[in-house]
Amino acid sequence: MFELFEHTADLGLRVRASTLEELLAEAARGLLAMLVANPEAVRPLQARTITLAAGEPAYLVFDWLNELLYRFETDKILFSAFELRLSGNELIADCRGEAMDISRHQMDHEVKAITYHCLQVKQMSNGWHAELIVDI
């Protein structure tokens, strides 16, 4: 589960999930919901594999969302479906989505950057929780 929240001139994202893999997938869906007002319109037509490594979960969440934003900015691809595997500190993500189509995708916020400001990722007794701020 994810939720967006206002933060001064920026936008925040809170995510909760039972596993770190699910947390990463929900965070990616949260980013998509920031970019597109109708994320359900993004079809899983094209596949890409993304591999990342980070020493701790907070940096993995940051790097993961940063990579998805980079792919959107450079390739104009929106990802809507995710199959994630963690092996040690390495993430292997099979992502599916499609090229941005302004006739079908209602673009919402212009996300400029994922930030370290207020970045928190914690493992709790009831699963994983994350909170971060994006620059819009």
pLDDT per position as a tens digit, 12-21: 999 999 999 9
Number of other CB atoms surrounding residue 97 within 10 Å: 24
Specify burial of residue 81 (Cβ count, 10 A radius: 0-12, 13-18, 19+): middle
Q: What is the spatial distance between Cα 52 and Cα 24, in angstroms, rounded to a whole number?
A: 12
Containing structural domain, residue 15: 2-135
Rounded to the nearest integer, the mean pLDDT of the chain is 95
Share of the chain above pLDDT 90, in %: 88
**CATH number of the CATH domain containing 31:** 3.55.10.10
pTM of the model: 0.93
Query: Which residue type is seen at 84?
Result: L
| pLDDT (mean) for 59-82 | 98
User: Which comes out higher in pLDDT, residue 3 or 133?
Assistant: 133
Torsion angle of C-alpha atoms 106, 109, 111, 114, degrees rounded to 10: -110
pLDDT tens column, 77-115: 999 999 999 998 899 999 999 999 999 999 999 999 999
**Count: domains in the chain:** 1
